[in-house]
Amino acid sequence: MSPASGVLRRALRDSRTRTLSFALLFAFAAAAQAASYRSAYPTLADRIRLARTFGDNQGTRLLYGVPHDLLTTGGWVSWRLGSVPVFAAVWGLFGAVRALRAEEESGRQELVLSGIVGRRPAFLAAVGAVGIGAAVLWLALFLGVLPGHVDVAGAAYLALALVTPGLVFAGIGALTSQLAPTRRGALGLGGAAIVAALVLRMVADTSHPLDRLRWLTPLGWAEELRPFVGARPLVLVLPALATAALMVVSWRIARGRDVGAGLLRARDSAPPRLAGLSSPAAQALRDQRGSLAAWIVGTSLTAVLLGALADSASGGISGSLDAQFRKIGTSLQSAKGFLGLEFLFLVFAVCLFVCFQVAAAREEEAEQRLETLLALPLGRRRWLGGRLAVAALASAAIALAAGLLAWVGAAASGAGVSLGDLLGAGANCLPVALLFLGLGALLYAVVPRPSAGIAFGLVGVSFVWETIGSLVDVPDWVVGLSPFHHVALVPAAPFDATAALAMLAIGAGAVILALGLFERRDLIGA
């Protein structure tokens, strides 16, 4: 085995948990969409009513893009998987930054380059690991779509279309890894690019005069590939050229700069800032304030849009389609019913946030900052307990901000949903989020390296299972395995105190067990 192949194998081992988690989520989502469509809309008449309901609905276009053919399984699946390119973009960005900038920041890249491995083989190994991961995601989507009895070539083309943004944003991650001197800075720049791309896609999909903006974003290119609905394979030239150009520019910068440095200079000194250093919890809040602000702004903007669309979206739902959503426990023919269902997606977002908090705790340990803290008169229980308390309070802030801003949007559109109802919907996000926070903390205490990836996988599979399993007549006890199944669809339904207390009790028990186990295990580096 050559030294370069050894670096490649190490990069693949580092990324396997994250890649497998995304692959399972993609495969399950694709299979569930195909199965639910064939089950819920078996006749042409059902599918025509579906197309009339969703064809011009601005709310669904905002989430999934423009539907082109809802009369076939392939057309439906390609539209309903319209959010997958965003997740693929996140995967690509994190993978490239982890393989490039994080390796330099930890000092491991310097050790590798001090041997017989040159810069070019090391760079190609990191990029190659991301490429192999993208192939795994493609295979997962391809196998997930096939049970829908669609054309095999069409399934392969759809999977490729959904994965291409991941490759483009891997190139963006490689570039930001050369620009920023820290992993956090590289992720911040790349995250801003994802947000900009998503905003352009949303504007293009909801405003006909501005639909050409779709050609300015990799997420729009994925739509323009048109799987199953008039394929445009020539559009593949755009993501291919963009990815290649980004990688070439990244390599040219990488070979000419010092290891550990970036084109954007880091400050070597700064006036001391002692605010937020009084306790582990305060320091965690100080470290996470930027990401917390981004999460609050992002979920709040989403909540405003959902509130503003609630009245008009609920008015366009047909009776047959509404009957399908009653299986989940709500009626979409009222603004409260629409918001109750859409708040389930905000519950999912808050659960993802707590997974990121588990990842942040693991990062502090992997980069050996925790080792320095614990050299002070600071106990392990106090440190981990402080991190979890900050995560819980931050989750509450995100959830309540979403409830408040959803009311602002609903009030502006005259939806007639009260502030109390929507604050209750925001608070309803917390029990299941705190359950996953406790489970994530337990995973971190037992299996620290893959803990964040497993936590993300649990949340993703549980959410997809609940939203799809209820529509395809799976037995209740099977659907009930998902914690999301026990989340009341507030404000359409009353708050389920029994289920909430059970989830809080399980989460608290997991936290107590995690604190005890973390105190006994060795710290583990990257």
Q: Residue 42 phi/psi, 5° resolution?
A: -75, -25
Q: Which residues contact 138 (CB under 8 A, 6 or more apart)?
A: 159, 160, 163
- Give the torsion through C-alpha atoms of 333, 338, 341, 347, to 10 deg: -170
Q: Would you list the domain boundaries of the chain? A: 1-263, 277-526
What was the pLDDT predicted at 328?
A: 57
Q: Is residue 141 within 8 Å of 163, Cβ to Cβ?
A: yes
- What is the per-residue pLDDT across 289-329, written as a single tens digit (0 to 9) for each? 877 888 888 888 888 878 877 776 555 555 555 555 555 55
Q: How many CB atoms lie within 10 A of CB 55?
A: 14
Amino acid present at 499: A
* DSSP assignment of 200-240: HHHHHHH-GGGGGGGGGSHHHHHHHT-TTSS--GGGGHHHH
Of all residues in the chain, what percent carry a pLDDT higher than 90?
34
What was the pLDDT predicted at 424?
A: 93
- What is the per-residue pLDDT across 412-458, written as a single tens digit (0 to 9) for each? 878 888 999 999 999 999 999 999 999 999 999 999 988 988 898 88
Mean pLDDT calculated for residue range 73-99: 89
- What is the per-residue pLDDT across 451-508, written as a single tens digit (0 to 9) for each? 988 898 888 888 877 776 665 566 677 778 889 988 988 888 899 999 999 999 999 9
**pTM given for the model:** 0.76
